[in-house]
Structure 1
Amino acid sequence: MNARVLALLALDKILLKQAYSNIALNDVLNKYPLSEEDASFCTKLVYGTVQNLIYLDYQLKPYLRKGKQEPLIMNLLRIALYQMLFLNVPDYAAINEAVRRAKKKSPALGGFVNAVLREIQRNGKRSLAGLSPVERLSVEYSYPEWLVKRYVGEYGIEGAEAIFASERNDRPLYIRINRLRGTETEALSALEREGISVTETVLPLAYEVAGAVQKTEAFRDGRITIQDLSAQYAARMLSPKKGEKVIDLCAAPGGKAAQLADLMENEGKIIACDIHPHRLELMEKSFRRLGVKNATTLLLDARESNRNFPKASFDSVLADVPCSGLGVVARRPEIKYNLSEVKLRELVSLQGEIMDSAWALLKPGGFFLYSTCTLDWDENEAQIKAFLERHGDAEIVEEKKILPQQYNSDGFYLCKLRRLI
């Protein structure tokens, strides 16, 4: 099994079975281990092909037979064309591998794949001239047109394009220093000894790193944890005090709850909830590594949180609700193809249910932090507007939207509310 073959296996899972890209890729690489260089190439093929799917199909369309193409052949063509158009790979290498795989299905298919790719090689890239602004953005950045229209409606053509373009950038890896296992200085010294370079960011205790941090002693000992820069704003904006009682709804994998514990110096009480039992186990494992002592996990449907606790029993509530995930498309590009307007409406309804139920748990004067990793107006600003109309005892304290290009991190939305009575 070589990198291209494994990329094809992963792509089939992602596009045909709607598997998450990171999980599909990890599955094939764990089953068929590659060298570090080949694994990196495989990863680039998978993410690059998925990220540019609509553009690749636009380039292929004039050369395809009428009617629906066989999925295996389409994915072979896409992977090969991605290499030809985006990577520094000789055309012959990309074409020959695709033809060889197609011939295993049938000689005729091998000939078809060869003909399509050779034609594109001769004719060059298909122009985007003549497309409307929305059509151009859809093709160039591989976003469904209905989503492009939503982005243009909120951010304008230039704003939408800036977001889409930023998702093509390589994202740095961010860590958070965990003071429950020692000081910031000690953690940075430990990383330096192991050859990990660090760069300061706009947030305290948050660093951009280069190197295999998960293999370091600092990571194993819990001195650091991997957490995107944007996600680190949530706990800081909620800013709970030592000794308070906090509930973190939809908490898995537990990064924000662990950061709350750090800010609270392991004093007070944090209840970290999730609806999936196996995710509770992941949180508990993470809490042990990070030395979190004041958090317990609870299996809970966040829509029913008000049935599980007395009214006004928490000083702070963190609701990092299920969302479309449009802020993390750079890391999970399949999101933009799997989402639909129907699914989006269902998510907005679910988010509202969670907020309404959890609001009853908050003490008067307490704080409620609503957060998402999406850039969609209906899930963010409009959701808060509707909530305020339903709850006259709520007021906005602070609101922040992080666009992906702002810090070269995930897109994120946060709104801190105070309960008045």
Structure 2
Amino acid sequence: MKMRHLGWALLVLVLLLGAAAGGIVALNLRGEDPLPEQAEAFDATPQLIERGRYLALAGNCAGCHTTRGGQPYAGGLPIETPFGTVYSSNLTPDAQNGIGSWSSAHFWRAMHNGRSKDGRLLYPAFPYPNFTQVTREDSDAIYAYLRSVPSAPVPNQAHRLRFPYDTQAALAVWRALSFKPEAFVANAGKPAEWNRGAYLVGGLGHCIACHGSRDSLGATQAKLGLSGGLIAVENWYAPSLADPHQAGVADWPAADVVALLKNGVAPRGSVMGPMADVVFRSTQYLSEADLTAMASYLKDLPGVPAQAAAPARAAATSTRRDAGTMARGARIYDQQCAYCHGDQGQGVPGAFPPLAGNRAVNMAQTTNLIQVIAHGGYLPSTAGNPRPYGMPPFGQTLDAGDVAAVLTFIRGSWGNDSAPVTQLDTMRR
């Protein structure tokens, strides 16, 4: 009798596992159209190629698919993730290693469904969870452009991921839980300019990939929007684009938002770290109309309610600063920082940013401040700011205690009233 019960239990378990596997397969196939049996006719006109070049810039495709000093779009760039290293693929028209044997339908399936030509599931280091919103027309244009770049016979490198993340089965489960192909749907209640901005920010721009938070499986939490997040491995914090105390621009003139995206510097802020690379490689080349559209969308993001932001600021201002630490920080500031940023943290217009009242200085997250002091920070060189000033690294001259002290001093002086930085904070970065 016991054996019979065990047999039934095993049968039920097998059926349940089969149903689960079938469900995972079905979820991974949702939204997919069958590939055409015959190769599609594709007319890559000069106009289409040029449009694809522009769209590839908007998506910063070369930023991930080009190694330093390497041939554009030949791939091979290591992308570090919490699960291991993913290497970007060759996108040149090389038939053996690149997309030379791909049809436009194959390319569209990769963009929209996250699946390679041979049917393999792609890792979301390639941001298809965002590119899925890109239209077929824009996908075809990018495909036409990539087929026009010089071919590079550079083999694709195998990813170095830990088990079980290196398996298609694990990826299938991840996709079943975290990915659903979808098309961009315009908001009928918003003007065309706003919708264009939403399409660029949410699709090709894939801004949420950095400015969004991620769950334990590494999936962006779309419901939280552009609420800020730590960029894994790189240890930079991409600030919230909705919070006026971080990087929200709701009260900025649209022209200033455009200037920040185009030049890397604006009257009320500048970019450093990974965002400097985005401006350098991508947004500085976008049209005024598209940048204005992005500004329209970003200025209209739902803001963080004042009552939600208040507790964090209250907690910061209520923390007492140690007098000895402040004195130590003042000495370091006078020796290392005052020459550029001024005795009162006032900065120099057009050269060195003020530290007094600077929201980047006063953010609760101190990750970027520590990174900039230790490793330096540099604005991108752009047509509108061809010779930007930069912040040299001080990691070789200041120890963890020094960094904590000078940041505590800066965050507690000239009207700044933010929480101290501890030595433990600096050692975590």
How high is the TM-score relative to the length of structure 1? 0.28
Higher helix share: 1
